[in-house]
Chains A and B, each alone.
Chain A
Amino acid sequence: MSWAMLTVRIHKEFAGSGDTPFVLAVTASFAPGFTILFGPSGAGKSALLDCIAGLQRPDTGEIRFGKEAFFDASRRVNVSPQRRGLAYVFQSLALFPHLSVVENIRYGLVKLGVAEQRKRIERVATAFHIANLLDRRPAELSGGEKQRVALARALATGPRILLLDEPLTGLDASLRRSILEDLRLWHVAEPIPILYVTHNREEVDAIGERVLTLANGRVLESGSPRAVLDAPRSLPLAQAAGFENVLPARVVEHRAEDGVMRIALENATRNIEIPLGAAEPGSKVRVAIRAGDILLATEAPHFLSARNLLPGTIESIERRGALVQVRVKAGANFLVHVTPGAARSLELATGQLVWLVIKTHSCHLVY
């Protein structure tokens, strides 16, 4: 069997609840392997998967898998979901509540002989560790077990493409890792295109070979997770990628010879230096900075390579699990994450004067 490429070039208007319709306009191709679809909710990720699965019909464009056309508006081709040979795990999982686990899996195998059915069920049951759950009803399963069953039901059909819409939301990290590991092992044997929708940064890092970011129904960027998510170039993406600080600013001057530009944060007393971007001097931009990328100092530090030093006062200190979130007013409001140990040894307190230390390359220009 040869592994084909999935290519999508579609345009679809959805009559939304608001006055402006939501437009999904995506051009992308998906090679065998994991592609993460990342973006804020309402970006059109599920709508894209629905179009690929044949559950929604695009207005124009085409969807091809290798030489085969799933959808081609100009030639009036629209293959039904039943005949696209793909599998789709929905966010809600959509296990049939009235059928047992084994009946759920067998549901997609009815066209096969009994011996082949048994073989496939055994294979997915072993691969996803659900052999002891086969006679249970979905209501008798835990969250993680349901997710395993949904993956098993999807993969038992021997799909040529796998669509996963946030299949592991709501699971704790270790359970997520173990299910991902099972999925990865399966994928080694069956290298098909897998489109994986998630908001979870940890899942992205664990499985992502490539990331495609979507916002407002359009592809923003694609590339490796590090390139795309660590340097987001749009506001919705920066927010979705977990950048705690997205601050409005104005470009002051370019210093092309140093590869940087100086910008003035709104309300800040000092300008800061960020990597040179395409914004002209005088234009309004936003700067995204992770709370964990900012250092706190209780005295003005010297002899540092970091170019950006901002004096400010602590507005609040809040313990959040394994980290402490400090809100600092340095003209603009900054969120800074430090460890509980650091907070203790620095004796941080509300109202205290501190210095924010930010490396130039921790600042990302977003539009």
Chain B
Amino acid sequence: MNGEAFLLSLRLAAMVSLLLLAFALPLAYVLAFFRWPGKFLVESVVALPLVLPPTVLGFYALVAMGPRGPLGKFWQALFGHSLAFTFAGLVIASLVYSLPFAVQPLVASFEAMDRRLLDASAVLGAGRARTFFRVILPLAWPGVLTSLVLSFAHTLGVFGVVLMVGGNLPGITRTVSIDIYDHVQALDYASANRTSLFLMLVCFVILSIVYAVNRRVWSPWPVE
């Protein structure tokens, strides 16, 4: 098994899931607690990566990151090198790719919240920020964990997008799924099987943890 590719995938998934959480929390808050005209459009955009083929995402990411694309030009001006075929480019493309997996569990857990708790918080004098950090976030923690883990696991398996924007540079953009693909191309089924099995196990364990927590198997406070 290619350890380098696996570590790279882990690094990518960790980075993407953490960045996505920071971005998804305010987005999910606005989606769950406010109504505004055109909200359905934002919801559709957030869900789009669920249904689009990763190659479509990857294609537009590549165009955007290319030397003539807006993102590519911006990046070039900022750092002096191109964005395509770099780890940073991979992170950015994966952010879009895993966005729905980060946002939707958060929206679901926010929407399931007892609104009277938020009312109680307001009447007791707490502003929006304090209500968010003292009431919403602690009570929505299974949703936060689900968001984090699902976007992590989903990014771990990213393939089509990487193929389009990352290429196959060992240690930089050669992720574990690309590695498996290469093994298969080389007819090295044994290696492909070892890596695939390992990836499958990792994802299974991660998902088991998420589902267990959402069933409140290990709850930090007694369930009513």
* B114 surroundings in chain A (CB, below 8 A): 92, 94
Instruction: Let me know if A35 is at the binding interface, CB within 8 A.
Output: no
- B122 and A96 within 8 A (CB): no
Instruction: Let me know if B218 is at the binding interface, CB within 8 A.
Output: no
Instruction: Let me know if A97 is at the binding interface, CB within 8 A.
Output: yes
Instruction: Let me know if B123 is at the binding interface, CB within 8 A.
Output: yes
- The answer, among A50, A97, A107, for a CB contact under 8 Å with B134, is A107
In chain B, positions 107-164 with a C-beta closer than 8 Å to chain A are: 114, 116-117, 119-127, 130, 134-135, 138-139
Binary CB contact string for chain A from 114 to 141 against chain B (1 if under 8 A, 0 otherwise): 0000000000000000000000011110
Q: Contacts A82-B125, A82-B127, A107-B134 given: A139-B119 contact, CB under 8 Å?
A: no
- B221 and A139 within 8 A (CB): yes
Instruction: Let me know if B222 is at the binding interface, CB within 8 A.
Output: yes
Binary CB contact string for chain A from 71 to 108 against chain B (1 if under 8 A, 0 otherwise): 00000000011101011101010111110000000011
Provide the main secondary structure of the chain A interface.
Answer: loop
Instruction: Let me know if A344 is at the binding interface, CB within 8 A.
Output: no
- A94 and B222 within 8 A (CB): no
- B222 and A137 within 8 A (CB): yes
Q: Contacts A110-B125, A111-B125, A157-B125 given: A88-B119 contact, CB under 8 Å?
A: yes
- What CA separation (Å) do A143 and B120 show in the bound complex? 18
CB distance from A39 to the nearest CB of B (A): 21
* A92 surroundings in chain B (CB, below 8 A): 114, 116
CB distance from B187 to the nearest CB of A (A): 55
- What CA separation (Å) do A259 and B31 show in the bound complex? 64
- What CA separation (Å) do A55 and B117 show in the bound complex? 12
- The answer, among B119, B127, B224, for a CB contact under 8 Å with A94, is B119
Instruction: Point out residues on A near B: beta carbons under 8 Å.
Output: 50, 53-55, 80-82, 84, 86-88, 90, 92, 94-98, 107-108, 110-111, 137-140, 153, 157
Q: Please, which residue of chain A has its CB at the minimum distance from the CB of B122?
A: A81
- The answer, among B120, B121, B124, B223, for a CB contact under 8 Å with A139, is B223
- What CA separation (Å) do A153 and B138 show in the bound complex? 20
| Contact sample, A vs B, 19 pairs, CB 8 Å cutoff | A50-B119, A53-B119, A54-B122, A55-B122, A81-B123, A82-B123, A82-B127, A84-B123, A90-B116, A92-B116, A96-B120, A98-B139, A98-B220, A98-B221, A107-B126, A107-B134, A111-B125, A139-B221, A140-B222
- B124 and A90 within 8 A (CB): no
- The answer, among A97, A108, A138, A140, for a CB contact under 8 Å with B125, is A108
- A88 and B120 within 8 A (CB): yes
- What CA separation (Å) do A256 and B163 show in the bound complex? 96
- A94 and B116 within 8 A (CB): yes
CB distance from B167 to the nearest CB of A (A): 47
Q: Please, which residue of chain A has its CB at the minimum distance from the CB of B130?
A: A110
- What CA separation (Å) do A107 and B124 show in the bound complex? 7
* A88 surroundings in chain B (CB, below 8 A): 119-120, 123
* B220 surroundings in chain A (CB, below 8 A): 98
Task: Give 7 nearest A-B pairs by CB, closest first.
Answer: A108-B124, A94-B120, A139-B222, A94-B116, A81-B122, A139-B224, A88-B123
- B126 and A82 within 8 A (CB): yes
Q: Please, which residue of chain B has its CB at the minimum distance from the CB of A89?
A: B120
Q: Please, which residue of chain A has its CB at the minimum distance from the CB of B127?
A: A82
- What CA separation (Å) do A164 and B111 show in the bound complex? 26
- What CA separation (Å) do A182 and B125 show in the bound complex? 25
Q: Contacts A92-B114, A94-B117, A98-B139 given: A53-B123 contact, CB under 8 Å?
A: yes
CB distance from A117 to the nearest CB of B (A): 13
Further contacts, 20 of them, CB under 8 A, given A97-B221, A139-B222, A157-B125: A55-B119, A82-B125, A82-B127, A87-B124, A88-B120, A90-B119, A94-B116, A95-B120, A96-B134, A96-B135, A98-B138, A98-B220, A98-B221, A107-B126, A108-B125, A111-B125, A138-B224, A139-B221, A139-B223, A153-B124
* B117 surroundings in chain A (CB, below 8 A): 94, 96
- A55 and B123 within 8 A (CB): yes
* A153 surroundings in chain B (CB, below 8 A): 124
- What CA separation (Å) do A153 and B222 show in the bound complex? 21
* A157 surroundings in chain B (CB, below 8 A): 124-125
* A53 surroundings in chain B (CB, below 8 A): 119, 123
- What CA separation (Å) do A139 and B124 show in the bound complex? 21
CB distance from A75 to the nearest CB of B (A): 23
Q: Please, which residue of chain B has its CB at the minimum distance from the CB of A137?
A: B221
- What CA separation (Å) do A137 and B122 show in the bound complex? 21
CB distance from A9 to the nearest CB of B (A): 22
Highest count of chain B CB atoms <10 Å: which of A81, A110, A137, A153? A81
- The answer, among B120, B126, B130, B223, for a CB contact under 8 Å with A90, is B120
Q: Please, which residue of chain B has its CB at the minimum distance from the CB of A82?
A: B125
Q: Contacts A97-B224, A139-B223, A140-B222 given: A107-B121 contact, CB under 8 Å?
A: yes
